[in-house]
Amino acid sequence: MPRISEETIRRVADATDIVELVGSYFPLKRAGSAWKALCPFHNEKTPSFQVTPARQSFHCFGCGAGGGVFRFVMDYEHIPFTEAVRRLASKSGIPVIEEAGGSHDDRAHEIRRRLLAIHARASEWFHENLMKSPEADEARQYLKSRGISSPVAKSWQIGFAPDSWDALTDFLKAQKFTNQEIVQSGLVSSKEDSDSSSGRFYARFRGRVMFPIRNDFGEVIAFSGRVLEAEAKTAKYVNSPETPLFNKGRVLYGLDKSKRALIDAKEAIVCEGQLDTISAFEAGVKNVIAPQGTAFTHDQARLLSRFVESVVLCFDSDKAGQEATSRSLPALLECGLTVKVARLPAGSDPDSLIRSEGPEAFRAATASAKDFFDHAIDRTIEAGVLSDPAKTAAATRKLGGFVELISDPVTRDLVIGKICSRFGVNHEAFKAQLRRSKPKGFAQQDSSGEKDVEPPLPLSEGMKVLCRHALMDPESRSWLAENGALRAGEIEEGGLLLQHIVACGAKLEEPGQLGVFVASLPSKLERALASLDTGRTQDELLQTTQEWWLAIAAPSIRSKLQAAILRLRSGNSDPSSQRALREEIQALTDQLKAFVK
């Protein structure tokens, strides 16, 4: 697969100051040569989060989080390494150069790059039409009636697709995109009686208000178009088809804007559509997203579980909205999310509620949301189901299928008790039917979800000193390389970090190379490196390094020397093996002599 070049990583690391980076997310206070703040990765009252500019790293002494500039963005934004590099590169105005892994990878990478470019230009074109074209007057009036002002339309890059078969195609061709690329984007289709090489296409979106769909990095990857005519015979909403960029079951609308708020709130308010999401977000309810469709897929639920612990389903109050709630539940429960349901006034959706009664009414509705099972039990009782034994049995079977998806045994048992108590059902009878009534079409959560973060590498006090000195002092680093530190991991586990530092050698002195080195480390080594205290310096770094390495390495060398001597004295080896043992003994003896000079 294509990878970001080391040169790009070096330039981005060199251009990014970690104090400025972290300070752009939350306030920092100077503490000597370092900076401190409350840790963003766990709750605390006393600041234990430290940023060290000399090492371009951060470390929390409370939870153990730590690393360099890339690691901070990865952990804070919940994004992978490549996206962290891209984000910092964008901030610094540095072009990202990728090195492809083969002809197939080259082709796939180029297709993705071109499709992203098409969507970016198309989104600009749609938006320009909405803001300036006389043909978009009806669209502007519609958005105004829905409370969407020009600044909001600009912020979300809402657009308008003119009622034309070929206007978009002509525009994209003028931007030097090929017929094949234009068709592959999903924005147009070739006519059934022609092939794509003829250039005869029709626009998928015509006479519609256009909502760009972005991935969580903010790149436009698809569109959703809403028809303007209230009584139109065509579909109210049309979405882009599946493309190399877009799989609707893996995208959450608005996530690129709301993910920081989601992390802070630990809860997502899930709306049904784009306008609901935009209205809520612009009204100040920032932790809001929408699925691409009316129900959650397992991929969407797993994506959301990276940011939150619970969700509030805020679908429309009509029958379709209630069905969407039920269809969303299995995926959400299987991903370990707590699910609540907000009850909106009859005939309302989030957008209409905010416009008619104000943001506080919507906040109140979401704040009073009930746990899904309480909500479902209430609705069942309100429907008079308990007066009919057959309907009661059917209701318990339906709820039983959802109960079976709860992974936590204590929570599951509490929910069972609640259902049985309010429905007047025997516990054992209810449990007996659970596995027979699991909703069809949903698999149990697989084991491919995100793993727990590895604990930081344990470092002895002596190894901390050696790693610190090797990082700070080229002379100490060179001496350690000549005296066996390249195999320090054989002495103790913490020696793996020393191995990496020493192996990097003189490259650590090059501008920006420290950031590249930090980014190259496994996560537990990166956190161990960030935990080192480089604020204290000593005049005799090399002398102290030699003393500590002797104290740590000499016992290991003596043990190896004694073992080699015993094997030689046993006389059980052939002449060739004996020569090798004598050479090993001499080398170990020389190492010990070097230590005691």
Nearest to 496 by CA among 469, 460, 545, 472: 460
CA 559 to chain centre: 47
Task: Provide the residue-wise pLDDT of the chain in tens; the chain has 597 residues.
Answer: 557 888 888 889 888 999 999 988 888 899 988 999 888 888 777 889 999 988 888 999 888 888 899 999 988 877 778 888 888 998 888 888 876 554 455 566 678 889 999 999 999 999 999 999 999 999 999 999 999 999 999 999 999 999 999 899 999 999 999 988 999 999 998 654 344 444 467 899 999 999 999 988 789 999 999 998 866 677 788 999 999 889 888 899 999 999 889 988 999 999 988 999 999 999 999 999 999 876 788 888 888 887 888 999 998 767 777 777 888 888 898 888 899 999 888 888 899 999 999 999 999 999 999 999 998 888 888 888 888 888 888 888 888 888 888 877 888 889 899 888 888 888 888 877 775 555 544 444 333 333 344 566 788 888 888 888 888 888 888 888 887 788 888 778 888 888 888 888 877 777 667 777 777 787 788 888 887 765 555 556 777 777 767 777 667 767 776 777 777 777 777 777 777 877 877 776 776 665 554
> In terms of pTM, does the model score above 0.75?
no
| 339 dihedral zone (left: phi>0; alpha: psi -120 to 50; beta) | beta
Task: Give the whole-angstrom CA distance, residue 347 versus residue 324.
Answer: 16
Task: Give the whole-angstrom CA distance, residue 124 versus residue 132.
Answer: 12
Nearest to 220 by CA among 176, 306, 159, 269: 159
Vertex 328: Cα angle to 355 and 373 (nearest 5): 90
